[in-house]
């Protein structure tokens, strides 16, 4: 038989208690930039820049070598090398700047923009965490003001950390561009010294194949710490580089042959 709550005319029935919402776990503040994080970012930029530099100029010089002119290969390769270095460096720089200073929400007020920037720059929180907090604080002006003053004091006490943060985009662009240039210069070196284009192409292919294998192995081994993963990464890197060079060589050779026909 179901039980019923006792009620009297003088005592109203007690309201039904609602179960409180389960508390949400507090979002942990991300750590301050450490040397380990900086090293990880640097290795990331080196890997991307070096792999692109090793593949793209190698494919370009292999394609231009089908024309039979060492001067054309050197000039075309250097033009691509410098333009690619600048493009990759600027891309890494702009990406680092955008990641460090994302735009605030469009509907925020001026004070909310200030609070949003303080939270983003001081604690490196994601926009998904900052926006609800700013909206909640904006409902109470005094609480928002006290919270903002606390953030300003905390930011001024840790201002010495800002120099490394400000130099990070420049370091990212310099690392990416330099890695691209070094990687692209390797397959081009034989064309500076060989007398015939065919000989330079063969030497360039041999040097690049060895470099692709070594780079692919080291790249995956550092990430997974497994010799099997390193061997698989070496094979993947070699296949991509050889396919790019072979396709480029075939396209340029076909275009040159079609232009020579009457």
Domain ranges of the chain: 37-100+164-252
Q: What is the pLDDT of residue 19?
A: 46
Rg (CA), the chain: 30
Q: Give the residue among 249, 225, 210 at the shortest CA–CA distance from 73.
A: 249
Spell out, as residue ranges, where the chain has pLDDT lower than 70: 1-38, 100-115, 118-125, 137, 143-144, 147-166, 259-262
Whole-structure pTM value: 0.62
Tens of pLDDT along 49-66? 888 888 888 888 888 888
Distance in angstroms (rounded) separating the CA atoms of residues 66 and 230? 33
Per the listing, tokens 């790019």 go with 244
Are residues 246 and 58 in contact, defined by beta-carbon separation less than 8 angstroms?
Answer: no
pLDDT at 174: 93
Q: What is the pLDDT of residue 160?
A: 45
The per-residue pLDDT for range 167-211, each reduced to its tens digit, is 788 888 999 999 999 999 999 999 998 888 888 889 998 999 999
């Amino acid at each position: 038989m179901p039980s019923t709550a006792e009620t009297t005319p003088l005592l109203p029935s007690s309201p039904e208690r609602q179960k409180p919402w389960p508390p949400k776990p507090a979002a942990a503040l991300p750590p301050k930039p450490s040397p380990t994080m900086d090293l990880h970012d640097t290795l990331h930029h080196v890997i991307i820049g070096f792999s692109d530099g090793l593949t793209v100029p190698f494919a370009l010089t292999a394609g231009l070598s089908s024309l039979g002119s060492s001067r054309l290969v050197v000039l075309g390769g250097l033009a691509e090398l410098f333009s690619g270095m600048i493009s990759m460096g600027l891309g890494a720089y702009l990406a680092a700047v955008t990641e460090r200073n994302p735009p605030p929400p469009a509907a925020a007020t001026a004070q909310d923009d200030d609070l949003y920037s303080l939270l983003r720059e001081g604690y490196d929180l994601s926009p998904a965490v900052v926006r609800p907090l700013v909206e909640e604080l904006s409902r109470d002006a005094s609480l928002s003001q006290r919270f903002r003053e606390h953030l300003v004091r905390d930011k001024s006490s840790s201002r010495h950390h800002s120099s490394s943060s400000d130099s990070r985009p420049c370091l990212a662009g310099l690392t990416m561009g330099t890695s691209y240039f070094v990687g692209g210069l390797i397959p081009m070196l034989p064309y500076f010294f060989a007398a015939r284009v065919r000989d330079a192409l063969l030497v360039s292919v041999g040097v690049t194949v060895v470099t692709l294998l070594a780079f692919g192995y080291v790249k995956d081994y550092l990430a997974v710490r497994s010799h099997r993963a390193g061997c698989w990464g070496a094979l993947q890197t070699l296949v991509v580089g050889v396919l790019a060079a072979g396709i480029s060589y075939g396209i340029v050779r076909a275009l040159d042959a079609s232009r020579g026909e009457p």
